[in-house]
Copies of this chain bind each other. A is one copy, B any other.
């Protein structure tokens, strides 16, 4: 308790890179080699792969999603100076969700038309986006953003995160609609609220810059 908890960012990032590399590679384990009756029949294998088509497409889509998350996390994390306990918890939850992603992708790849599979995949995406936004919001609140990052750049990144959350909320409305109209309405309203919050942040930023014109110079 006497010494505050701090961790070097570089060390945490090594683990993050490792986990992402493995989660990406594990995705392919779901693409199984089909069993054939006639081993030399090109048509049969082609047909089997064709039935696998959705799984293969899901692999490439999930890979792209993980890559986007990785780039996004990297660009947020490089703005942070030090990792303290709440940020570390955020990162661990983020990694736990990322590692869980291959399972959700496999579920959706196997049962593309099943609502439950969709209701695992979409909220998981939402949670990952939410934890990322939280991570950065906490870093701002605890003043752990690197000094080299200007207040403007800091708020811009936060605003982009919020906008990402809002876009995800709106995009998930069709899925939620299949579940229940009221839940879908709730999602749409929350997306709107986050959009409005992101907008207000811009005004706040503009005001702050106008208030303290010397700090930006």
Contact = CB atoms under 8 A, between A and B. Distances in A.
Interface of A: 2-3, 7-8, 11, 13-15, 17-31, 33, 36, 39-43, 45-46, 49, 59-60, 63-64, 67, 70-71, 74-75, 78, 88, 92, 95-96, 99-100, 102-103, 106-107, 110-111, 113-117, 119-120, 153, 156
Contacts of A88: 71
B114 A41 contact: yes
Sorted nearest first, the 10 A-B pairs with minimum C-beta distance are A18-B21, A42-B115, A45-B116, A22-B25, A67-B92, A42-B116, A63-B96, A14-B17, A46-B116, A19-B21
Contacts of A75: 7
A22 B22 contact: yes
Nearest to A63: B96
